[in-house]
Amino acid sequence: MHLKRTKRIILRTLFALFTLLIFVIIGAQWMAKDAIAGFLKNKLPAHVQLDYNDIEVNVLTGSAKLKTIGLKLGSQDSLRGDTAKINALEVVGLGYWQFLFHRKITLRTLYIERPILAYGLKNKKTDTASRGKNPLGNLEALEIGSIKVVDGSVTLYKDRSDSVALKLDSVNIEMSDVATDASRIVTKLPLTYSTLGFSATSLMADLGPYETLGGSKVEINHGAVVISDLTLKSKYSKTELSLHLHKEHDFIDLKIPKLSFESIVLGYRKSSYWVRTGVAVLEDPDLELYRDKLLPDDTKRKKLYSEALRELPIQLDIPKIEISGGHIAYSERVNRETAPGKINFAKVSAQILHVQNIPNKNLKTSVEAKALLMNEAPITLNWSFDTQKKSDAFLASGTVKGFNPKKLNPFLESNLRVRARGDIQELYFTVSGDAISSSGDMKMKYEDFEFSVLKKDRLRINKLLTAIGKVFVNDGSNTDENGYRYGGIEAQRDPTKSFFNYLWLNVSDGLTSTIIGNGKNERRKK
């Protein structure tokens, strides 16, 4: 009897404890759900408007799930509020004690399903006014073991318009060890994390009135970045673009099947962002440029590359850029009667070292490039400069071998009203200069070189000017013992033109000196 009574007492006690535990769990469920709902209703910043369909809470697993979420940042009367629609948001491993008593959120996992984000660009006044506010509201800190965003989309709108500035589809993100606090979240880099995985499709960015940037896929994995089918294109056709311009502006069509960086790291130091990357690789880039020279010149001062790098608003450090399998085509329209002449560079490959503007790093930026001029003649260019030198000093050298000038006749006839023939076996030039002027030398080995000057219709030869030109142009027969003729280079930079125009002025002056001058090696004489 005594044993039976003891068993009944134990069973009743266990039942009572179990019943109490159920009530405690139900109460805890209710309290947790009420606390989360109260926080979302009363503790979020005033400019955050949040709506949701339901909250599911499980205190045993420390999870909470919000369904069918609508979020808006900004006042009701703002021109465009920042909005988000989220199919579901789930947190797992929520630290209730930290949340309820220490104003700190700790999560094991944050899962965001199909977020649709729309962000309106603000003007500077709005940005300045909001700077310094704590988006965490009354919370002290936030720590998340991992964040997973699945199948989202992001649309960035221009200020005061409905036009899209940036768009990404199929956005998937995985981050680990994410943390911030009340002091960090108002800084330039508001979060810390240990790893980041990112992928998105259908990249589209509006770069201004004339160009757009696109890409089929963007991927980030352990710091490495790969962009597939990157494009930079004019919004209009060549003819249409000219109708929208009031001064010269290049039509551009750039396609890069694959652009990759071994790594990209972003930081902020001494009031400036910095970006450091690993090796960058451009595979099979294809670039077409076209300029309508019938439009007025763009007389704005053009920076040389050294100055442009030096004055970037961020500190940039790219150790090496490799280009392989490239193609470049450039054409100009200089008159209405004839088709634009074109220059082609095939099988373009290049190695660009130390693209950087880090103070006191003392590493020159250098370029080693080679290609086939007009798909035929091997051509090389070596070029270096120091971004820290405000004189914008540079050194450039190049070669051309086995070139038939007749290949350039469509371009020469359209642009310079001349026609060439002959055989350039070898051409070498070296130029040193700065932002104002340059000098150098050239040597050539060529045969039967001849220019014919065309009439204005570019169809018939101007016999008089051609005959005069033959008097001054050496056909390549008066050479040294090795078959070379020599010339000097002197050029003044036009600051309204690009570096490559400056380089062409140097090459053009060297060609003139070599072909028309005495052909002697003046340096050897000295």
Question: How confident is residue 129, by pLDDT bands cut at 50, 70 and 90?
Answer: very low
Return the pLDDT at 52: 79
Return the pLDDT at 172: 96
Grouping H, G, I as helix, E, B as strand and the rest as coil, residue 372 is strand
Q: Between these two residues, 259 and 470, which has the higher pLDDT value? A: 259
Q: Measure the CA–CA gap between 340 and 337, rounded to whole angstroms.
A: 9
Q: Is the pLDDT of residue 232 over 90?
A: yes
Question: How confident is residue 314, by pLDDT bands cut at 50, 70 and 90?
Answer: very high
Q: Between these two residues, 16 and 154, which has the higher pLDDT value? A: 154
Q: Measure the CA–CA gap between 411 and 402, rounded to whole angstroms.
A: 19
pTM of structure = 0.85
Encoded amino acid at 473, one letter: V
Torsion of CA 461, 467, 473, 474, to 10 degrees: 110
Is the separation of the CB atoms in 152 and 114 below 8 Å?
A: yes
Question: How confident is residue 63, by pLDDT bands cut at 50, 70 and 90?
Answer: confident
User: Strands 141-157 and 104-120, how do they pair?
Assistant: parallel
Q: Is the pLDDT of residue 36 over 80?
A: no
- C-alpha distances (whole Å) from 446 to each of 104, 232, 364, 403, 468 are 79, 40, 35, 9, 21
Mean predicted confidence (pLDDT) in 222-231? 95
Mean predicted confidence (pLDDT) in 233-254? 95
Nearest Cα residue to 264 out of 307, 314, 217, 310:
314
Domain boundaries along the sequence of the chain: 46-206
Encoded amino acid at 3, one letter: L
| Placement of tokens 């002197």 in the chain | 490
Return the pLDDT at 448: 78
Nearest Cα residue to 353 out of 338, 361, 364, 345:
364
Mean predicted confidence (pLDDT) in 180-200? 87
Return the pLDDT at 476: 64
Q: Is the pLDDT of residue 319 over 90?
A: yes
**Highest mean pLDDT (candidates 135-144, 175-184, 512-521):** 175-184
Q: Between these two residues, 477 and 398, which has the higher pLDDT value? A: 398
Return the pLDDT at 56: 76
> Of the given ranges (94-103, 383-392, 500-509), which has the lowest mean pLDDT?
94-103
pLDDT in tens, 145-166: 999 999 999 998 886 557 889 9
Q: Between these two residues, 15 and 173, which has the higher pLDDT value? A: 173
Q: Between these two residues, 369 and 509, which has the higher pLDDT value? A: 369
